[in-house]
Structures are given as structure tokens and as C-alpha cells.
Chain A
Amino acid sequence: MHGFHGAYWRFDLGRGEGERIPIPPEVLRRTLGGVGLGSWLLHRESPPGVEPLAAEAPIVSAFSPLVGTGLTTSAKFAVVAKSPLTGGVCDALASSHFAIEGKALGVDAIVLVGACREPSELVDGRLRPTASWGRTAEETADALRAFGRVAAIGRAGERCVRFANLSAEGRHAGRGGLGAVMGAKRLKAIAVRGGHPTSVADPSRVARLAAALRERSGGEATAKYRELGTVGNLLSFDRLGLLPTRNFRQSQFEGAEGLAAESWRSSRSHGRSSCASCTIGCEHRFGWKGSAPTRIEYESLFALGPLLGIGDPDVVLGAARRCDELGLDTISAGATLAFAMECGEKGLLEGAPRFDEPDALLGWLDDIADRRGLGDRLAEGSRRLARSVGRGALGFAPQVKGLELPGYEPRAVQSLALGFAVGTRGADHNRSGAYEIDLSPEVDRLRGDARSAWGAVETEDRAAILDSMVLCKFVRSAIEDFYPDCAELLAAVTGFEYDAAELREVAERIVNLRKAFNVREGWQPSDDTLPRRFLDEALPSGPVAGARLPKDRLERMILHYNRARGWTDDGYPREPRLLTCFEGLGIDGIGAGAMAAGAAAGGRVAP
């Protein structure tokens, strides 16, 4: 077998024992790797209805056929688990040498089940008590450097903050609380090193394709990321009226210019670096208050800045750094704080943080990570906090299915608003790239319609492929003809003769795997929506003032989306199509059986 090792390593943390379990070649061909393979393993390993933070809940690190081939941006792995924030499927990607060394163990995935008796680390295939409990992920990795490449959690993960992340070499599997899943298992870190290289079916073809992709990845298509990074979005989004500000009450921030990376480049120390195996180099670091330059992305910048009414770049850069040290997802941390701030303004939450108070921010982040005082309630995320606050607070909690919204005002990018509403992971700009059509002249971004549904399906499918093969999304615009070119890459590596049509089926399968998991775990059609704020209130100011997303418009878009997916009008996959789609995956355990469990849990599947 080429590209794959044909097995996963299943380690029971309670028993302290692992075993190598074969994966049928047909499953690998049909799920690729990354989030696809991870979703399949989640179906297989996750008991229906399991609590995400229970010992029995599995957490999967899935590699892919391209990992270890040297293809640009391929050193990524997907972490997949049932999310403690959403109760649905969560998959998050991180780029690092952990992916390369993990796969070099001779497996395509690592599945951890059970829980350690005491805070531990998994090193060289053995559990041992950890001396790093309480340390940052970076410090932990330093301590374990002699044992290979490390993925670890910070303090927030140890305390099961529901939006804690998992880190590897400063990159994070950030969203959905995967760090809390690992923390609940009392596992601080896993260090991996192996001696099993990835074999490829056609080395000369792979070398030719890799060289071509490498060359294109250094061209115009990725220049934005290379020269400015994602932080360049902030000022542009401000000018387009889609920069979420003060808990999504405004879509322009009066302090945006002070946070604009365009001016930071001349006013601050600046450095640039790349993830493992990457030729783009999108990682931009900026100095602050005399400290070493800190990596920051747009999502952290918006969530810890305008969303909280903070325009001091030193504070935002410091807060981003603090979140990295604590192991907090910056988007959920910022959005939950912003929500609490509005609750405080409305007199709904005593002792709440306040907008426009930069000096208090680091203290609040510490309180969340340590679950201290009100921080304990904030550590539950905005949806749970809203439910405990009551009195209509859920209507302005910035989340979908429990996952906090990223930095796009949904009323100003309505195709993406649809992507947020139907996303299996919750409000998510990485699994739905529908902003691509919003930020083009092809559609009216303020008036979502059937084309939005087409855009949501298309970008979701492409993301499913990229996140499974795995390649970085920033290289997507350097791929000339998406499905044929991806098929050729995969065929050259694996020897499976993929073509564009098969890859489209793979995309559909992966989307269906995630949806089927959510249905199994109790998804209902009413979960596919946005908070009432976005449906009831027009944007009050800025260039798109007056923009509305009425509920009936969103519902029409969801209907178009469900039909484009071949699901029922209310969004349930149809059983006959699922049976075809899941053929060869062990359907009894994944399809019919799982869906029946969902029906028993209150969900249902269309006949």
C-alpha cells in the first residue's frame, strides 16, 4: 500500500495499552485521511450519546496520504472528537512535524480512549506521570523534545475549558474544545517519533507534481498570505462593513486603523516563518511592548480587539500570546467575553467584564483558563453561559450549535451566514468557505439566495477534500483545476486511480459522515439557524447599515442547501443515498446502525 500504512494505533489510557488495528484499503480510499478518516474513526470508536468529556469518548489524530511526501503544506493532521462545546462532530487541523513523525509510527491515525489515573504524558508508546501539568504547551514540548514531536494542551485544557485547544509547535487544533477532551483524559501531551517513511506509488510523478505546486505556491495566488498574512483582512473587512465589533452590534470599528497590519509593518518589529513543509510562509510575527514578536492571525486580532472594543495593538498582541500560553481558542475566548460584556451592560450578569477596558483583558483570560470566579462560567462558552443567564440572552450569544462565530458579520456576507447555520461543526469559516463568493462580484453579499446555497455546498465539498488529503487551504488558489488536480496528486501518491468524479463522491461522503454523526448524536433541524440578533436586527451603522437577514430568507437558503445536498427539505440525509455513499465503510456500524441510534435518541432519518 502506498501513501497509507493501513492501520491505526488505538491506545487505551485507562489500561495503559495500545494496539495496532488494520484499516481496510477501501476505507482509506473512500475517506482519504485527515477529517475524512477521522470522522470514520469517530463513528467507529465513539459510543452513541457519549459525553464529550467522558473517559469513553475517543479523540483521534488522523494523518493523510500526503503527509510525509514533502508536498508543500502537507504536514498537517486532523484532530477529531465529539465537541464539548457543540455536542457534535469537531475536527480541527494543525500544521507541524507532529504529523510527519506521527505517521512515521507506521499508522494513519492515533485514537486515544479511556482516561489516565493521574496527569500523564504518552511518550514512546508508554504512559508516564507528567511533570508538565500546569505548564504551557510550548514548555511541555521543550521538556519532551528528546522524545520526538509533541502535541500538548495548556492550563485551559487541563481544566476542561470547553474551548481549550491542542497545540503542536505553536500551531493549534483550535476550535471546538479538543484540548478539553484531552484534559478530561488527564493527558498532558503525546510525543511521537517513528521510522516508517511514507512510500509513494509513482515517485517521479509525485516529484513533478510537487515541484509544480511548489512553484505556484510561491506566485501571485498566495502573495496576500506571504506579504501581509491573514491580518491584512482586518482593515479591508472594516471598510466592507463586515468586521464584528462589540459582540456583533456593529460591523465597523473606530479603532481599526490602529490594528491594521499594513501600518504595523513599518511601525513594529516583524518576522515571517512557515509551518513544516510549507513554501508559502504566511506566518507573520509582530513585536509588542518590547516583547519578542508574536504570531497573530486575523481571527485572533478581531476576536481580542474590535469584538471587545479594544484598539490597542499591544494589548491585542499580548492577549493573543496569552491565549496561546493558556491553550485557549482565541475566537471562542473573545466571543464569550464579548457576550458577557453585553450581558453586563444589559444588567444580566453581575461582575461581568466591560467593553473598551483593555487593562482587564489578560486577567479575564487567566480567570477563564483557571476557571476562577466568573471565569468558571465563561469557560463553558457563550451558549451555556447564555442559558444560565436566561432572559433572552441566547438571542445575542454569538454562536451556532455552541461554537462561537469567527470574524465575519453574517448579515454582511450572507452566503457565509448560510454556511455558519448549516455547518456540522457550528459557525465555521474553515469548513464553509462561502465567503469566497460573497467577496466576489458574483453575488449580492447582502442578499443571500439560491446561489448562496450552491456556494456553500461547493466550498464545503472542496474544504472536505483539502482537509482530508491534507493540504493547507491557502494553497487552494494555486491549484488550477481543483478536482482533477487533487485526483492526480492522490493517484500519484497512493496508486489508487482517483479521478475528479470519484473525488467529488469522496467529498459528499465526508460531509455525510459528519452530518450522520450529528444526527446520531441528536441533531435537529432547528439547530441549523443563527442567533436571533442576526435575524431580527438590521445593521445599525457603517457602509452596509440597514443590511438585514430576515429569518424567512435564511430558511429559503437552508432549503436550497438541503436540496442541493440531496437531503430532505428539513436537512436529514436520505437513507438510500447514505447506504450507497457509505458502501465499503462497514455500513452496519456507521450507517444504518448509527442512524437508528440517532432515531432512538430523538433524531430521525428520512426513508
Chain B
Amino acid sequence: MRRVAIVLCGGLSSRMGRPKAWLPWFGRTMVEHVVQRLRGAAEEIVVVTSRELDLPPLEARVIRDREPERGPLAGLRDGLAAAEGDFAFVTATDAPFLSASHVSSLLDRAAPVAPRAAGHVQVLSAVYPTTAWKEADALLERGRGRPLELLERLGFDAIDWEPGAEPAPWEGFNTPSEYLSLARRTRADAVAMVEVLGRSALDLAETRFRVPIGTLGEVLGRLERRLPMRLLADGGLSKSHLVCLGGRELVRDLSLPVGPGERISVLDALSGG
């Protein structure tokens, strides 16, 4: 049996304010972290992303969700249709505690199967036959969009999950505080790396700082106490500065999360030239 893993990361991440796939997780992006966790459990990894969300280079096949606005079932359908195997483990991208042993144990059953915890079926930490893409397509045709309905039609086995000390393999997050809380649970002293660039750096003996994670406002507030300059003004970021998260996202929103291992650049408010 050829074993496949599918990662769904085409969601809007609207409550997070940043794409979950690109959030840092102790040295990797979240999608890189999840793909790395899956590598020991599946011969093929398919990552389904939206038309517009580009991803870092991955050791996985990346496909585009044809109907991202229709929710996870559409992405699941596209992933199953693209998979070249018999059964596929399906996960969301925000699954920092996913383990290869969890994935293997489910794929070993070679049947539709999903964990159930406190009565809730974990449809995005479950195994589907790859042929189920047709059933998913039919459901979508009828205006149905829930993966649970697909599992039910497939006659899946539910495995009751006993909570332990460790977080569940599917435990994810939707808000900055949930994400930061999971990161702190993993390592209480998690830090981000801040680099000050441009003319602000001219006044500094040291330009790189390790700062405990938090919202951007919290991180910059802690950093500001160590600098001879103001980074925050009038409840926001100072007009003289701009902040880049991960070398990727230029932001001013102080409520955004700054995660473990995040690289933050504090820049002059750039005007090129």
C-alpha cells in the first residue's frame, strides 16, 4: 500500500491576521514543520494551497485548491484526486504537535478512520481512501461542504482518544493568543530575533536582540526599553519605522503574533531610491 499525506493550507487565516502556513515554529515555518513531521510516515506528501498563497520550497508536491472559497472539503477533494496512492492521511497546516507515529498508526489501518476526542471527530487528522475524491465532489455538487459528512458516507471508524499530558496531534489554533499559548506551552522561554537596520542602527553598539514572543506590540515594547529610540508612538508603530516579519510581511498592526524563532526586521520607513 502506498501511503500519502495531504496538508491543507489554503484557508484564509483571517482571525490570525497572517497566513498560518508561514507562521514560525522554532526554526521552520509551520508548513515546513508539518511536512517534516509527515516525512517519516508517508511516501508521498501533497500540499494543497490556495491560488494566491505561495509557499516556501517544500519536499512535497504542491497543488492549488480549485475552489478555495468552498472550504476544506474542496481542498480535501483536490488533494485526494492528486494523490498517487491508496489511502491518505489528511491534516491542516496548523498542527504543530503532529507526530509521524500518530500518522502511521492511522494509516496502518488502511481504512477510513478518524480520532474522536470528547465526542468530536477530528476530520483533519484522519485517513481517507484516495478514491473518495469522487464522493467529495458529489457532496460539493449538492452544496455540502463538511468533511465529516464524507467520512460518514465512507463508513469510517472512530477511534476514541484519551487525552494525556501531551497536546493532541491535531491541536491547532485560530487566533494569535491560541498560537502564542501553544508556543509557550512547548517552550516557556521561546524568543523571537529582532534586527534593527538602516539609520536607526547607526546609534547602536548591538543591532540584534532576542526578545520573548508575544504580540508585535508586546515585542516592540520590550525591545524599546533596550534602545535609545522610540519604536512606538500614539498607540501604534512610529512613523519613522516599518516592521517586517520573517523577511516577508511588512506590517504595522501591533496585534499580530510574533512566534518562536521569528525574525523581525525593524526598518526605516522605506522609500527606496
Contacts and interface: CB of A to CB of B under 8 A. Distances in A.
Contact of B251 (A230, A262, A441, A542): A441
Given A541-B57, A542-B247, A239 B197 contact: yes
Contacts of A445: 250
Interface in B176-219: 195, 197-199, 201-202, 207
Given A408-B272, A440-B250, A232 B195 contact: no
A504 B21 CA distance: 43
Contacts of A574: none
A543 B271 CA distance: 20
Interface string B208-251: 00000000000000000000000000000001101010111011
Interface residues of A, number: 41
B268 interface: yes
Contacts of A439: 242, 250, 270-272
Interface string A498-509: 000000000000
A600 interface: no
Contacts of A135: none
B202 A220 contact: no
A474 B273 contact: yes
Nearest to A477: B271
Contact of B57 (A223, A233, A447, A546): A546
B252 A441 contact: yes
B267 interface: yes
Nearest to B250: A441
Interface string B260-272: 0001010111111
A544 interface: yes
A408 B270 CA distance: 13
A473 interface: yes
A473 B273 contact: yes
A473 B273 CA distance: 8
Interface residues of B, number: 32
A233 B273 contact: yes
Interface stretch (A157-165, A346-354, A375-383, A428-436): A428-436
B202 A265 contact: yes
Interface string B25-60: 000000000000000000000000000101111000
A408 B239 CA distance: 23
B197 A262 contact: yes
Nearest to B52: A447
Point out which of B198, B240, B263, B269 has the most chain A C-beta atoms below 10 A from its C-beta.
Answer: B198
A571 B253 CA distance: 37
B158 to A, nearest CB: 37
A228 B202 contact: yes
A187 interface: no
Contacts of B202: 227-228, 262, 265
Given A262-B207, A298-B273, A239 B195 contact: yes
Contact of A544 (B242, B248, B270): B248
Contacts of A474: 273
A225 interface: yes
A235 interface: yes
Interface in A213-255: 220, 223-225, 227-228, 230, 232-233, 235-236, 239-241
Nearest to B251: A441
A371 interface: no
A436 B270 CA distance: 8
A514 interface: no
B270 to A, nearest CB: 4
A373 interface: no
Nearest to B201: A262
A579 interface: no
Interface in B131-188: none
Contacts of B55: 546
B270 A236 contact: yes
Contacts of A235: 197-198
A149 interface: no
Given A543-B247, A548-B54, A230 B273 contact: yes
Contacts of B240: 220, 223
B236 to A, nearest CB: 11
A596 interface: no
Contacts of A93: none
Contacts of A298: 273
Contact of A546 (B54, B247, B265, B270): B54
Interface in A256-287: 262, 265
Given A439-B270, A545-B57, A547-B54, 4 more contacts: A224-B198, A228-B198, A241-B247, A441-B253
